[in-house]
Amino acid sequence: MFTRKQKHVLIKFFSMFSVVRGYNILIIVIAQYLASIYILAPEKPLRKVLFDVNLLMLVLASAAAVAGGYIINSFYDSEKDLINRPTRTLLDRLVSQNTKLSFYFVLNFSAIIMASYVSFKAVLFFSLYIFAIWFYSHKLKKRPVIGNMTSAILRITPFFAVFIYYKNFETVVFVHATFLFLIIAIRELTKDLENLKGDLALNYRTIPIVYGESMSKKIITFFTVLTLIPIYLLVHKFEIGYMYFYFYACIILLVVFLLFLWKSSTKLHYLTLHNILKVIIVAGVFSILLININLVLKRIL
């Protein structure tokens, strides 16, 4: 049995884990490694990628910077989140704001230290990234369109650290990045519909509030249709192994998403749409394994 002190520590741990969205950080780490192995450096032996200390430092720096981003975002959105996500926010509030800010600075400092192991360029990259996250949370988040697009860009930025490290400028990399950007942008736009109540109460100038829900749905529909372009290119113009199964499944899910979008009107509806996009993103991470299934089987057998 746990003592009272141990229970208190455990609760604090889960609270901080919730604040930094630990599950999202884990997905980002896995995605960076899988992208490195199968997309960015497919010609390198698996062992050289997995045991590359420079890559490890970049991945850890990304994780620390993103975790710090979640903290500062939570700090600025604490009142809004209390309206939109009361249960999770109450868990997050078990850790004081001062503790969160202290941890925020520790994470950012750690990210810079780990980046310095790789190169000065990496330090500059993560310094700008950390500043951009703060500037978005402090200034840009409440602005319609620019806030959504900035958020989507910031979410895919960690992958550019690995992309620059391997100096892989193949077109297929940019097409994959474009698909991911569009899906994340759709997710950010959908979150605005989901969080309408809190945004309205705290005067956030999001697209649904400024231009209306109908216009927001039209913009989401436009971005969803745009995803067909990178999907077509990836399936028909590039060698992606069995990953084409994933993209065909994406088309089906996105059609369902659009049909449900135009019938949605409540927070629960938009939460369901948000979860569909989460499934697409998480499934996309693990579907990278399908690019070279022979390599996977070789390692298993």
* H helix or E strand, kind and range, residue 216: helix 213-226
pLDDT tens sequence across 22-60: 889 999 999 999 999 888 888 888 889 999 999 999 999
Q: What is the pLDDT of residue 299?
A: 46
Residue 257's contacts (CB-CB under 8 Å, 6 or more residues apart) are: 224, 273, 276, 277
pLDDT tens sequence across 104-152: 999 999 999 999 999 999 999 999 999 999 999 888 887 888 988 999 9
Q: What is the SS3 assignment for 143?
A: coil
Residue 233 predicted with pLDDT over 80? yes
CA 243 to CA 221: how far, in whole Å? Answer: 24
pTM of the model: 0.90
CA 136 to CA 250: how far, in whole Å? Answer: 30
* List of domains in the chain: 1-154 (1.10.357.140), 170-301 (1.20.120)
Q: Which two tokens stand for residue 298?
A: 């070789």
Residue 301 predicted with pLDDT over 50? no
CA 71 to CA 300: how far, in whole Å? Answer: 38
Radius of gyration over alpha carbons of the chain, in Å?
20
Residue 300 predicted with pLDDT over 80? no
CA distances from 230 to 70, 276, 281, 297 (A): 29, 19, 15, 28
CA 217 to CA 229: how far, in whole Å? Answer: 20
Q: Which two tokens stand for residue 189?
A: 């736009």
